[in-house]
Amino acid sequence: MKQKFRVSGMSCSACSAAVEKAVRGLSGVLEVSVSLTQGVLLCEYEENKVSEASIIAAVKKAGYGAEIYSRGASASVKEPYTDIRVRLLVSIVLMIALMYVAMGHMLSLPLPSLISKHTSPIGFVTVQLILALPVLYVNRKFFTVGFKALWHRTPNMDSLVAIGSASAFLYGVFALVMIIVGVKGGDHALVERYVSNLYVESAAMILTLVTVGKLLEDRSKKKTTSGIRALSSLSPKTASVLVDGVESIVSATEVKIGDLVLIRPGEKLPVDGVIVEGFSELDTSALTGESMPRSVTVGDEVMTASVNLTGRFVLRATRVGEDTMLSKIIEVVENASASKAPIARLADRVSGIFVPVVMTIALITGIVWMILTKDLDTALNHMISVLVISCPCALGLATPVAVTVAVGRYASHGIFVKKAASLEAMAHIETVVLDKTGTVTVGEPRLVDAVFFGMTEEQALTLAADLESASEHALSRAIVSAAREKGIEPHAPESFEAIPGKGIYAKYQGEDCLCGNLSLMTEYGVDTSDCKDALDSLAAGGKTAVILAKGKKAVALFGIADAIKPTSKAAVEALKQEGVSVSMLTGDRYLTAKALADSEGLMLDEIIADVLPTDKARVIKAKLDEGKAVAMVGDGINDAPALALATVGIAVGSGTDIALDSADLVLLKNDLYDLGYAVKMAKKTLRRIKENLFWAFFYNSIGIPIAAGVLVPFGIALSPMIASAAMSLSSLFVVTNSLRLYRDR
């Protein structure tokens, strides 16, 4: 059982690690992945051992909120940065006043004597505390979430910010008490010591700067999910349903399977269906990325969100609501964005222990400086700096933001990735194996040549069509179609047996008959001596040979050709530019496949011919056993095992449901044009992830020691304010670096 949950209250990778750990600890949970950027938990579990309620309870016990994911509900959730903007506005206004009071004397700015550092130290400190309090209040989320996480023993980034800010503010309160004691006792040295070493403005500045970073980060993260939101907005809200010829406008969610829906020019399709009346041209670019309009008429299948460009037509709904192609695509994109790539595991392991380690380092830093200087101010300064400069967010965002952007970019090209692991695997692909029929070629073979031995054309075509009429194979359809074009209507044979990868055996008018390839004829002992020259000639012309035999004698030879898709050549060239070798897999003879490839200029590295459908997976396994990372591209039921076995399985959009289910990537355009782009984008995404992880680790490995004071002997020290600004910038850098993928082509 797989289920998706929406998780609230997460602010950094330590949060997502805590949620993941809590759920993973439940007996019966098989796999769990938490997306910080989307606030989503993906969980696969055994229903007889764990329930949705127990998963939600585990998340809540860890200190976070959880509920069953609902796409409709998510759309109505208030944007995360709206509240942040209010907080930030209040914080900035009060910070300006606070900084004026705290540091105005350094610039000789005028201050009333009641709050002057020199004439009224008590008033000077008191007004700073009063100005800082509202900043702490409007940003109380850091304290409620941070200390709650501490209580649940899962400290996070908010915990670090809360402790740092609270420490600075409480030290200000302590300083005020000491100043009052000094004023009343006439101890001017005591007053001067504490009035000159205040951190009240740091308490407010930490919260303000972190909030600035959060606002920018949330806006950037929102941009990463723009692709998903764009897909979600494609489907129209209403539909024109015909009941007994009378039109009524209803909500698109109310349309039922079998309903007749009227589509006018300029309207989007609200459901998937089959056209039963009329014809038109559809713009399907929103889903498939295909720029050219598609002509449709009665009997054609059409998809939700396609735009009707010209004619008026009526469709019968076949898939509605969550079952439409658009809904399935959105689900695939969401799940891929929420899943994790293997490269994220290192960051996850670090994030799980990061905050406790930082808190320990901060405590040790404070103790060491207290011992060395016997000065609480200095110790507190370095301790707070360590707390606020540490940034688990950068680690947590390094992978998911890049993955989300990449998945959105893929979707805009009509490429759909099912999980992040496939994206990473795609970047390492060394060999792409292309199934020929329906993938490299159009998949609509036509009879283009024929040779007859002791039979007229009409007799041979009638016999062949009768035999092949019981088969659904593409070659069978080509022969039947050719017969019908000549006015011959086929009739089913007395008995029929399909022999996978070879052809058919049938009983026809009391006689054994065969129609298939040379291997089938050899197996049944058919005399094909008359066919040898013709077979070689057809193969040299890139045509697939189908032999017709009656009894033990070959009576006809049919040459069938399937045109290569116009984009296949460009796709092969693009793959080779990325350093990927390209192989073509086919059941044809080698000479036939080679001639076909050469005729279109396909610069293939390898042609694997005479492969039975059942042996496709064996071919992929052999390449995997050689240590190669292999991508298999196919579209049929017999491709499914090979797609599932390959490092990355890629199905073209017209493929069968089972092929699509077995694949890791789906090309909706039904051609190979974007295959090179898919490899290139995967490599760029992996490069961005590595850059992000390097920056996150480098930042913390350098920033924490500096904040702890290792460079103080060289005159370099960080104040808490600078540390908090650096923390915000580190997360922003990681997000913006990932967003560069939007500009990549």
- Please name the residue ranges forming H helices in 104-239: 121-138, 141-151, 157-185, 188-195, 200-224, 226-232
The alpha carbons of the chain give a radius of gyration, in whole angstroms, of: 35
* Predicted local confidence at residue 98, as pLDDT: 87
Q: Angle at which helices 720-739 and 200-224 pack, to 10 degrees?
A: 0
* Predicted local confidence at residue 436, as pLDDT: 86
Paired with 437 in beta bridges are none
- The rounded distance, in Å, linking the Cα atoms of 744 and 735 is 15
Residue 288 C-beta-side C-alpha neighbours within 13 Å:
22
- The rounded distance, in Å, linking the Cα atoms of 432 and 576 is 10
Give the angle subtended at the CA of 357 by the CAs of 344 and 346, to the nearest 5°: 15
Q: Which of 324, 485, 428 is nearest to 687 (CA)?
A: 428
- The rounded distance, in Å, linking the Cα atoms of 271 and 287 is 13
Paired with 527 in beta bridges are 553
217-229 residue pLDDT tens: 666 556 655 556 6
Range 454-474 burial, b when 16+ CB lie within 10 A, else e? ebeeeebbbbbbbbbbbbebb
30-39 residue pLDDT tens: 988 888 777 8
Greatest CA separation found in the chain? 128
Q: Which of 37, 708, 666 is nearest to 410 (CA)?
A: 666
Instruction: Give every CB contact of residue 72 below 8 A, 6+ residues apart in sequence.
Output: none
Given a cut of 90, whether residue 10 has pLDDT beyond it is: no
Helix count and strand count (H, E) for the chain = 28, 26
Residue 573: pLDDT band with limits 50, 70, 90: very high
| Mean pLDDT for the chain overall | 83
Q: If 0-12 CB within 10 Å is exposed, 13-18 middle and 19+ buried, where does residue 522 land?
A: exposed
Q: Is 571 within 8 Å of 672 (Cβ atoms)?
A: yes
Q: What is the DSSP string of 640-690?
A: HHHHHHSSEEEEETTS-HHHHHH-SEEETTSSSTTHHHHHHHHHHHHHHHH
Q: Is 224 within 8 Å of 37 (Cβ atoms)?
A: yes
Give the phi and the psi of residue 697 in degrees, each rounded to 5.
Answer: -70, -40
What would the mean pLDDT of 542-567 be, rounded to a whole number? Answer: 88
Q: Angle at which helices 325-338 and 400-412 pack, to 10 degrees?
A: 160
* Predicted local confidence at residue 339, as pLDDT: 65
- CA distance to 77, 559, 601, 734, per residue, from 446 (Å): 55, 9, 21, 54
- CA dihedral defined by 626, 627, 628, 632, rounded to 10 degrees? 70
Sign of CA dihedral 279, 283, 287, 291: positive
- The rounded distance, in Å, linking the Cα atoms of 689 and 695 is 10
487-537 residue pLDDT tens: 998 888 888 888 877 889 988 888 889 999 988 999 999 988 888 888 888
* Predicted local confidence at residue 743, as pLDDT: 75
For residue 155, give the 3-state DSSP assignment: coil
Distance of CA 655 to the CA centre of its chain: 21
What would the mean pLDDT of 688-713 be, rounded to a whole number? Answer: 87
Q: Which of 322, 474, 337 is nearest to 403 (CA)?
A: 337
- CA distance to 393, 435, 450, per residue, from 543 (Å): 59, 17, 11
- The rounded distance, in Å, linking the Cα atoms of 447 and 459 is 16
* Predicted local confidence at residue 77, as pLDDT: 37
Q: Residue 559 has which token pair?
A: 């040459």
244-289 residue pLDDT tens: 888 899 998 899 999 999 999 989 999 999 999 999 998 887 666 5
Q: Is 199 within 8 Å of 298 (Cβ atoms)?
A: no
- The rounded distance, in Å, linking the Cα atoms of 431 and 598 is 20
Bridge-based pairing of strands 630-634 and 648-652 is parallel
Given a cut of 50, whether residue 75 has pLDDT beyond it is: no
Q: Is 198 within 8 Å of 172 (Cβ atoms)?
A: yes
Q: Residue 528 has which token pair?
A: 């094909």
Which one-letter amino acid corresponds to residue 467? Answer: L
- The rounded distance, in Å, linking the Cα atoms of 453 and 447 is 17
Q: Looking at 115-129, 395-409, 625-639, which range is the least confident one? A: 395-409
76-128 residue pLDDT tens: 334 443 477 888 888 889 988 988 888 777 767 788 888 888 888 899 989 99
Residue-range domains of the chain with CATH: 2-79 (3.30.70.100), 236-322 (2.70.150.10), 419-442+564-673 (3.40.50.1000), 446-561 (3.40.1110.10)
Sign of CA dihedral 735, 737, 738, 740: positive
Q: Residue 300 has which token pair?
A: 């054609």
3-state SS, one letter per residue, for 476-517: HHHHHHHHHHCCCCCCCCCEEEEECCCEEEEEECCEEEEEEC
Sign of CA dihedral 10, 13, 15, 21: positive
So which residues are the catalytic ones?
435
What would the mean pLDDT of 146-162 be, rounded to a whole number? Answer: 80
- The rounded distance, in Å, linking the Cα atoms of 71 and 50 is 24
* Predicted local confidence at residue 393, as pLDDT: 66
Which one-letter amino acid corresponds to residue 424? Answer: E
- The rounded distance, in Å, linking the Cα atoms of 157 and 151 is 14
Which one-letter amino acid corresponds to residue 689? Answer: I
58-74 residue pLDDT tens: 998 888 888 888 765 44
Which one-letter amino acid corresponds to residue 116? Answer: S
Sign of CA dihedral 293, 299, 304, 310: positive
313-370 residue pLDDT tens: 999 999 998 788 778 777 766 776 666 667 766 666 676 677 788 889 989 999 999 9
Residue 583: pLDDT band with limits 50, 70, 90: very high
Give the phi and the psi of residue 503 in degrees, each rounded to 5.
Answer: 150, -145
Q: Residue 30 has which token pair?
A: 């098989």
- The rounded distance, in Å, linking the Cα atoms of 64 and 60 is 5
Instruction: Give every CB contact of residue 292 below 8 A, 6+ residues apart in sequence.
Output: none
644-683 residue pLDDT tens: 889 998 888 755 455 556 778 888 777 788 898 899 999 9
Residue 745: pLDDT band with limits 50, 70, 90: low
Backbone torsion region of residue 691, taken as left when φ is above 0, otherwise alpha when ψ lies between -120 and 50, otherwise beta: alpha
Q: Is 362 within 8 Å of 168 (Cβ atoms)?
A: no
Paired with 277 in beta bridges are 314
Q: If 0-12 CB within 10 Å is exposed, 13-18 middle and 19+ buried, where does residue 446 land?
A: middle
- The rounded distance, in Å, linking the Cα atoms of 700 and 719 is 16
Range 726-737 burial, b when 16+ CB lie within 10 A, else e? bbbbbbbbbbeb
Query: Residue 529 carries which DSSP code?
Result: G
- Please name the residue ranges forming H helices in 104-120: none
What would the mean pLDDT of 202-220 be, rounded to a whole number? Answer: 74
Q: Is 336 within 8 Å of 403 (Cβ atoms)?
A: yes
Residue that has been written with the tokens 């390959």 in this structure: 646
* Predicted local confidence at residue 389, as pLDDT: 81
